[in-house]
Structure 1
């Protein structure tokens, strides 16, 4: 039998330190194991007493720990926390949104998945901010919990600068050219329209340059990017103004002077080509071409008639 203490004789240790042995040959347990053995001996002898209901509480704690461990393995911890805190009166009952103009409160509720039973305690604020920040118009967002059942959402929204047409699609863009969202209705119809590849990134600088010619800019229906290098202006009466790649200011001064002196943009023309520095080309509409041809034929006919008349008078 192992001795708990070597009272009957001196203990000696082997040089390797593996075990302690009394002089009478009885082995002595290491010190940590002696305490464990003494505890179980006292427990078996009845010298140790536990408070009442210790066994019941221990069983409950054991089963609770087992249940939590199982929920953790099954991924149901969040659901349990939400259900328990909701039942305790922490259900989200109110969402206060500020700073929103284009983002509706209903969209925010749907984005967060709030259904009236979501617990404020179980709501992950960082995840809520991330979800709201993914919404098209949101530039910045803060989310706060106000117990027992309110969320405060403060938004900073992006500003629409213009409409970008790429192919058959229409999108709202910022000044930087970043796309905000597809154009869904006529709410933003007053914004300038930019058409073509790369038009969205060059739009703001080009549009600002036209502030020097407000009368003409107000008549532009669309700014069309051509080959990623230059612009055409499509006016409200369908006239196309072709601008050069460089020195747009010179071309616009020529157009402005022609408009003020001859009301060029109110005439029956299809296009004005300002790409060449030494000349301006005006293209007539098909109807104007037809009318011009008729007028030229009528003039030629009249001239021939006058010439014939003069010849007759000369013979007389």
Structure 2
């Protein structure tokens, strides 16, 4: 009788539990060592001088700034290299520079920054005569260097904080009405009682009163349409001969001419 024992393989014997645990631990330690080594290698590579930011390319609105002046303003406030630089923090640093409304900052390998600027477009000064703050074309208040504003022939706007957009909008409407008269608004104020007050380049002071923009503009247009008749009756012409005007009375207006006071009532319109 033949035997089949010779053709059968011996059964595999499982490794003891403690041996298997030691193998797993060895694999984990080896993987951890690889990760640490890789991290050290990456840190070494990132610290190489070739990745340090060495050039800033400036483009966009550069009326008040270029790469040299920007570097002087930014100074050491930007930290990190090409890989570690915080773009949001860098953008905030550039936007803190006077006249810069918005900045876009991009990395350019291996060591450059490209900065695109949008500057404020000034529409007038904001606040008291001693202040150098300005209002841009969107009605936003921004800080400007005093030396950059001395030559600006712009109107001054006065009002409560947060009212700059409202004041600018009213100024734009009023300017259109005064333009045919060759009169320029030097100052426009929104008073604490929500009344409007302006001064022309001729020195004329005008109280426009309160109300909606449409109501204020209606009173102004009424005055501009009738003031020549009033001036003619006193042998005068031109707004430069008017010292002050008060439009707060909806039925008419009070006007002062070189020391002479009179009331121009609604009857003037009937002549």
TM-score range, shorter chain: 0.5 to 0.7
Which residue in the other structure is 2:94 paired with? 132
Verify: 1:213 aligned to 2:171, yes or no.
Answer: no
CA distance 1:170–1:137, shift in 2 (3 Å) = closer
Alpha-carbon distance change, 32 to 159 in structure 1, aligned in 2, over 3 angstroms: farther
Match of 1:277 in 2: 250
**Which residue matches 2:59?**
98
Match of 2:202 in 1: 237
C-alpha contact 2:54 2:111 (8 A) present in aligned 1: yes
Q: Is the 8 A contact 2:87 2:106 kept in 1?
A: yes
**Change in CA separation of 1:183 and 1:196 when aligned onto 2, cut-off 3 Å:** farther
Q: Is the 8 A contact 2:56 2:112 kept in 1?
A: yes
Structure 1 counterpart of 2:105: 143
Q: TM-score, normalised by structure 1?
A: 0.56
Greater than 6 Å deviation, 4+ residue runs: none
Structure 1 pair 90–216 and aligned structure 2 pair: CA distance change class (3 A): same
SS in 1 for 2:187: strand
Give the alignment of 1:1-316 within 5 angstroms: 31-35=16-20, 84-86=47-49, 89-101=50-62, 102-109=64-71, 110-111=73-74, 113=76, 119-166=81-128, 168-182=130-144, 184-185=146-147, 186=149, 189-197=152-160, 200-210=164-174, 211-216=176-181, 218-246=183-211, 247-261=215-229, 262=231, 263-267=237-241, 269-285=242-258, 288=259
Q: How far did residue 228 of structure 1 move?
A: 4.3
Sort the Cα spacing of 1:253 and 1:156 in 2 relative to 1 into closer, same or farther, 3 A: closer
Q: The residue matched to 1:277 in structure 2 has which SS?
A: coil
Task: Say if 1:179 and 1:253 are closer, same or farther in 2 by CA, change over 3 A.
Answer: closer
Which has the bigger relative contact order, CA under 8 A and spacing at least 6?
Answer: 2
Larger radius of gyration: 1
Structure 1: gaps of 5 or more residues? 1-29, 39-57, 69-76, 293-316
Change (3 A) 1:144 1:35: same
- Return 5+ residue gaps in structure 2 as ranges: 1-14, 24-29, 232-236, 262-271
Structure 2 length-normalised TM: 0.64
CA contact (8 A) 1:175 1:203 kept: no
Q: 1:34 to 1:92 in 2, by over 3 A?
A: closer
Q: Are the equivalent residues in 2 in contact too, given 1:226–1:232 (CA < 8 A)? A: yes
Question: Are 1:164 and 1:172, in contact at CA under 8 Å, matched by a contact in 2?
Answer: yes
